[in-house]
Structures are given as structure tokens and as C-alpha cells.
Structure 1
Amino acid sequence: MEAKAILKEMAPYRQGMQIDEVKKKFNLTRIVKLASNENPYGYSEKVKAALRKLDLSFEIYPDGHATHLRTATSKKWDIKESEIVFGSGSDELIEIICRTFLHEGLNTVMAAPTFPQYRHHALIEGALVKEVPTIEGNHDLDGMLQAIDENTKVVWLCSPDNPTGTLIPPQAFHQFMENCPTNVVVVLDEAYYEFIDGSLQMDASANIQRYSNLIILRTFSKAYGLAGLRVGYGIANEKITEKINVVRGPFNTSILAQKAASIAIEDDLFIQETVESNEVVKQKFQQFLTSIGWHFYPSQTNFLLVSTPGDADELADYLLENGFIVRSGNLLGYPHTVRITIGTKQDMTQLQQVIKQFQLLLDKEV
């Protein structure tokens, strides 16, 4: 049976080795996963306590409107409930946005490299993908504006960017939006919003009121530590959310995910502690990298994209054999780099020792 022709040129998402696989292959008892930017501190104790007491009726479909979560999210960000759309992670929202706005004959503009799911789903919908190379890991906003033409329907801005961690400064974002045609949908993907320095965080409510063509994406998978439950959300004006909700599946977030997220979004202390711990450990790891002469991109996230001496896969494989799973930049469009999630203080101290061992091996080869 024939599928869409474009699928012959594409491949499924390729995930890295899972913890049990690594343990078995290398005969290890402890693995530290630093490849997917998950929260090493877990998730809110309030969520854990609530989930232990839940008596959920799994035989009943979830609330397709996500009423309780919608109310909590509306209150948190001072936005109307009708200005929110939920997805099974922001990944699904990217797919839904592409299905809503893109088709053959239209094009979409994005940075390159950036989060690959933008390109992936746009191609499936038959749209032409126009990629504008990043400049030192940053979006080339002027170049992206120049790439927009009469057939452009969606522009993707990933800020902080994945995989570099770099931020589009608020002033640059506003300048871009002022110059972007209003008939072009701009998606601002803020998956790592909670990790952004407070002085650089933007007001979602104010931005969607100011820009009628803006969709903001956020997720519970990163700082909130609920990656396994798959729940994210989009913020936009009602005209946009109405269109997206036509395409969205009626029961796309589970009962469990909605309940956990509605509690998590109210636990500001957990987020504060997570962000503060991440920043302290990140700063110390950056100092270590500087001391051994390894470059890294300035990051407003819970990960670093680190330049490596030699081949990225060689370092990633060495770390894997020693119990650390990281993401090779060869898979992300940045050769000679690895993306490393910031783990706990203990994890990152141990990682430094393994990196030192790797560098000693390189020095001996020279």
C-alpha cells in the first residue's frame, strides 16, 4: 500500500539507547541519562502525594476540554481559558499546527539546525521547508525575514533554542514580529521557558494580545519533570486556538496527565528550587569546561551544547561506556559537539572525571 511519497525520503525518530540497554551492554550498575534534558530532580512532591491518593476511572475517556488544567493554566499566566490549547507534549502541538496551516504549495521558515520536528511535520504536510542557517548558534532573524514570501504560512522560532540553548533577546523578538507579515503564523517554542533568566522572560499574555499571529508553545516535560506523562500547551488568540482545536484530537491528553499537570503548575517552589539548582550546577560545569579549554554555547536552559576535540560520536561512545548517556551533535546538525543535560551536583562531578579521562586518552594519542 502506497503512503505519501515524501515518507520514502524520511525516517522515524531515532531515540538513543535506553538505560536498561546500556546497563546490559556495558555491564554497568548505574547509568546517568543526560541526553534528553529531563529534570534530574524528578517532579513536585505535591504531585507525588496527590497521585498516591487518586482513584481514577480509567475506563472513562478523559475530559477533552482539560477543564481543571485549563483553569489552572489560565490563572497562572493571566490568559483567557479560550486562549489555551493542550497537546500530548508540545511535540503533538507542532504536528497539529503543521496540519492546521500547511499544505502543498505553501512554505515554512525555520532556523537550521533547530528542533527537527518542525521540519519533519512540515514535510509530511507537503510544504516546502526554507531553512536559514544559524549564526554562532543563534537564529538569523534578518535572514528569516528575508526568506518569507507570499507563500510562507508558518515561521518557527525556538527560544531558547534546541540544541544550542541560546535565547532570542526580547528586543530582537519584538523587532522580528513588527516586521513579520501578519498573515504569517509565528510559533515561539518556549519549551525551556522556566529556565530563562527572569529579566529576559516575556509576558505571554501581553505578547498574544500584541501579535494576533503568534502561537507560544510550552511544556510540562522539562522543568516540571513530567516528560513521561506527555502534556504541553499552546497560547494564542482565540481565532487561532479555534482553528487548532478543530484539528486536535478530542481526547489527546490523559486523565493522569491532566491531573498531574494541574497540580504541578501551582507548585512554584519546586520550579524555583529546580531552576536555582540547575543554575548552580551549570555554572560549575561551565567553569570546568573553560578550565580544560572546551567551548560551549551560552545557554538559558538545563543543557549545554559543548564543542568536542575530535569526533563527537567518539566522546559520546566513551561516555556511554562509562555510564553517561549524552546526545552526539552529529545527530543534531552540529558536528564536533555533544549536548549534555545538566544533572545533579554528584552526577556532573562524576562526569567531569570521565571527561578528564577521555582527554588524557586524546593527549596520549597525540
Structure 2
Amino acid sequence: MKSKEVLKQLRPYKQGKQTKDIQKEFGLDYIVKLASNENPYGFSDKVKELFQTNKPDFNIYPDGYTTELRSLISETLNVRPESLIFGSGSEEIIQMLCRSYLSVGDQVIMTTPTFPQYKHYALIEGAEIVEIPVEEDGSHPLETMLDAVQENTKIIWLCSPNNPTGTALSKQELQDFLVKCPSEVLIVLDEAYYEFLQQEKDLDAIHLLNEYKNLIVLRTFSKAYGLAGLRIGYGVADALIVETLDKVRGPFNTTSLAQQAAAAAFSDQEFINYTYQENKKVLAQFQDFLTSIGWDYYPSEANFLLVKTPESGMDAYDFLTRYGFIVRPGELLGIPNTIRVTIGKEEDMKVLQSVLQDYHNQLN
């Protein structure tokens, strides 16, 4: 049997080392995973109560329309129910977008580095990839991206805050970009880390959808809401875009448990505010520590920090792993001599700082 030729160039996603891997390799009891930008505070108590009181009906197919969660989000965000699309994480919606809008020879534009699945799924559909390096501070080079638009450009990916640099667009930058971008080009604004933004940094993108029919906003329950293991996310767009995506969406692509948990989590904004406040505090503490030892980093508006290491990011990763800290080496993200560190709990981050201080001292 012969698969698509392009698949010979691609590799399956390879996750980083897991807690059990480190435990087995180094015989450690204290292990802190800071590699996948998960919520260290878990998830809402409302989700815990849901699983303690509700008996799941595993023999029944889930609601293919995601009715309860759809109604809740549409009322909260003041958007029409038909403007919402749901996926197994927002990543599945990225796959739907590529399957729906890309054919062989079409062009997509994105920064580099950014979330790698934009490129991965676009290549599978035979698209031409245009990657524009991020600015020195890790931000999107928006004017250069606009200059790259051609007649065959179908999608432009904007990730804000950007993964892995953590930098975010400003409201004015986004509005200027939307005005200048041709209306036939689909603009995908991935806001996976939206809940970590300071209020003044909120792009208010949902309110731009009526004016810009070529915009879709993606969000997820995997990060701040702490439901990464259940895989559910959503997109908000013009109803015609959603109708198009629904044609390639699997009929039961989100599970009953994921839908119910997401509804419970979305109803508990106190937990989201707690997560935001803790992340903001601990992020600032970690930045101050790095500054004190002379290490640089990209300005972050997310729950992670891309740290510039004095030597190879792989070396720093190996050193930290031996002490039970799992981070993401920049060599695997397209930025050598960096590590991406999820912001964990305050007590764990203080131990991490001690380990990094030892590593720094060894290098000097």
C-alpha cells in the first residue's frame, strides 16, 4: 500500500519524557513536569463534583451537537450558537481547517517558531508553507507576513500568545492586520493561552467576528481550565465557516465526559481567576530570578517562559531532568540554546531556581 508522498517527510508527534520515565531512569521520588504548559493547580472543584455525583452512560453516544456546552458558551460570549465549532482540543479544529480549506499548491503563512501542528496538517494537504521568523522579542512580524500574501494564499496562522515564545499581539496590531489582509484569506487566531492574558492585553477578538468574516478564533480547555486529559476545545467564527468545518468534523468527535466537564469548568471563573493570579505572581518571581543570574528570556503573556540558556538547551534539559524537572528543550522547538519552562506552583519553582542556580554556577 502506498501513502501520501508527503508523509515520508513527516514524523509522528513525539511527546516529551513523562513522569514515570524519569522516575524509572533516575530513581527519583520528587518529579515536576514543566514541559507541556498544563495547569499545575489541577481543575475546578465543580468538575470534581461532577464526576463524584454523575454516573456516566458509556454505552450511549455523546451529543454530536454539544448542546449544553454550546448554549453556555454562546450566552457567555454573546455569540450565536451556530458560530461555534467543537473539537478534540483546539488542535482537531486546526486539522479541520486544513482539511476544509487547503488543496495541493495552496499557500499558508505562519511565523517560525510557532505551534508546529499548523505546518504539519497543512503539509498533509499538500500546501506550500511560508514561514516568517519571529521578531527579536518573539513577536509576529505582521507586515512581513502581509507582504508574503499571494493569490494562492488560503490561511494565515496567528498564535497569541505565541507558543513557544509567549509573546502576544496588541489589539491595534490585530485590527490593523485585519484591515490590510485580503478578505478571501482565512485568518486563524489561536488563543489557547487566552486566559493568562492581562486584561489590558485582551484582543477582544470575539467582537471583531461580525466585521471580519474571514476570522476564526480558537480556544481550548486544555490549559487554564486544566482539562488537557479530556481533549476539548472550540472555535468561534462566521456561521458559514462553521458549516464548512462541520462537513469534515467527525459526528461524535468530543466525548460526553469532556463536554460535561468543560461546561462545569467554564462555569467556574473563580478557578480561572485563581490560576491567572497565581501564574502572574510566580512568573514574575521566576523572571526576577533569571534576571538576577544574568539569564535572558522572551517576554511572556502565557503560563510558560522561553528561557535563553548560556549553552545548549539540551544540556540544560539533561541537567534539570537529573533533578526531577522536566522542561522542553528549545532544540526541539526550533530555537537552539533555550528551554521552555511551564510556570508551576510557587514551591516547585523555588526548588527549580535552586537547581538552575547550581547549573549556572557550574558554567561559571
Same fold (TM over 0.5): yes
In the TM superposition, 1:145-164 aligns within 5 A as: 145-164=146-165
Aligned to 1:87: 87
CA distance in 1 between counterparts of 2:107 and 2:115 reads 17
Deviations 1:196-226 (A, max 9, x none): 1101212243111121000100000000000
Deviation at 1:360, TM superposition (A): 1.6
Counterpart of 2:174?
173
1:113-158 Cα offsets, whole Å, 9 max, x none, are 1110000000000010111111111111001001110000000000
> SS at 1:247's partner residue?
coil
Q: Which residue of 1 aligns with 2:330?
A: 329
Q: Indicate conservation of the 8 Å contact 1:297/1:304, yes or no.
A: yes
Q: Trace 1:281-292 onto structure 2 (pairs within 5 A).
A: 281-292=282-293
* 2:270 equivalent to 1:273: no
Decide whether aligned partners of structure 1 residues 142 and 204 sit closer, same or farther in structure 2, where only a CA change above 3 A counts: closer
1:63 aligns with 2:63: yes
Match of 1:251 in 2: 252
Residue of structure 1 equivalent to 2:9:
9
Matched, 1:41 2:41: yes
CA distance in 2, matches of 1:88, 1:235: 15
Q: Secondary structure at the match of 1:156?
A: strand
User: In 2, are the aligned partners of 1:76 and 1:266 still within 8 Å (CA)?
Assistant: no
CA drift of 1:362 comes to 1.1
Q: Secondary structure at the match of 1:94?
A: helix
CA distance in 1, matches of 2:56, 2:36: 30
Q: Deviations over 1:271-307 (max 9, x none)?
A: 0000000000110110000000010111110000000
Aligned partner of 1:27 in structure 2 is 27
Q: CA-to-partner distance for each residue in 1:58-90, whole Å, 9 max, x for gaps?
A: 111100000001011112211111000000001
Task: Output one character per residue of 1:325-366: Cα deviation in whole Å (capped at 9) or x when no partner.
Answer: 000000111111000000000010000000011112112xxx
Task: Could you list the structure 1 runs, at least 4 aligned residues long, displaced by more than 2 angstroms after superposition.
Answer: 202-205
Once residues 39 and 177 of structure 1 are traced to their aligned partners in structure 2, the CA distance between those partners, rounded to angstroms, is 32
Q: Write out per-residue CA displacement over residues 23-69 of structure 1, whole angstroms, 9 at most, x where no aligned residue.
A: 01001012100000000000000110111111111111100000001
Measure the CA separation in 2 of the matches of 1:216 and 1:186: 9
Provide the alpha-carbon RMSD of the alignment.
0.7
Task: Name the CA distance, whole Å, in 2 between partners of 1:238 and 1:267.
Answer: 27
CA separation in 1, counterparts of 2:159 and 2:205?
Answer: 15
Asked if the contact 2:174/2:203 (under 8 Å) is kept, the reply is: no
Letter in 1 for 2:71: T
Specify the alignment match of 1:223 in structure 2. Answer: 224
Partner of 1:357: 358
Which residue matches 2:120? 120
Structure 1 residue runs of 5 or longer lacking an equivalent are none
Per the alignment, residue 129 of structure 2 pairs with 129
CA distance in 1, matches of 2:331, 2:204: 35
Distance (Å, rounded) in 1 between the aligned partners of 2:21 and 2:332 = 20
Assess if the C-alpha contact under 8 Å between 2:312 and 2:336 holds in 1. Answer: yes
The equivalent of 1:101 in structure 2 is 101
Q: Which amino acid aligns with 1:315?
A: A
Identical positions, percent: 52
Query: C-alpha distance in 1, partners of 2:99/2:361?
Result: 50
Query: Matches of 1:71 and 1:323 in 2, distance apart?
Result: 43
Aligned amino acid, residue 87 of structure 1: G
CA contact (8 A) 1:77 1:204 kept: no
What amino acid is aligned across from residue 197 of structure 1 in structure 2?
A: Q
One-letter identity of the residue aligned with 2:93? L
Question: How many angstroms apart in 1 are the aligned matches of 2:160 and 2:124?
Answer: 24
Contact 1:47 1:263 in 2 (8 A): yes
**1:239 Cα deviation after fit:** 0.8
Amino acid at match of 1:20: K
* Runs (5+) with no aligned partner, structure 2: none
Contact between 1:105 and 1:128, CA under 8 Å: does it hold in 2? yes
Are 1:211 and 2:212 an aligned pair?
Answer: yes
CA distance in 2, matches of 1:182, 1:163: 28
Where 1:130 maps in the other structure, the secondary structure is: strand
* 8 Å CA contact 1:35, 1:341 repeated in 2: yes
Whether 1:76 and 2:76 are equivalent positions in the alignment is yes
Counterpart residue identity of residue 67, structure 1: T
Number of residue pairs aligned between Structure 1 and Structure 2: 363
Q: Distance in 1 between matches of 2:360 and 2:301?
A: 27
How far apart are the structure 2 equivalents of 1:245 and 1:179? Answer: 29
1:182 equivalent in structure 2? 183
Distance 2:204 2:75 in 1: 14
The answer to whether the 8 A contact 2:218-2:236 is kept is yes
Q: What is the aligned partner in structure 1 of residue 306 from structure 2?
A: 305
Matching residue of 2:193: 192
Normalised TM-score (structure 1): 0.98
Instruction: Name the SS of the counterpart of 2:109 in structure 1.
Output: strand
Partner of 1:262: 263
Amino acid at match of 1:292: I
Letter in 1 for 2:252: F
The C-alpha deviation readout for 1:164-213, integer Å capped at 9, x for no partner, is: 00001110011001000000000000000000110121224311112100
The answer (yes or no) to whether the contact 1:76–1:265 under 8 Å persists in 2 is no
Contact 1:157 1:187 in 2 (8 A): yes
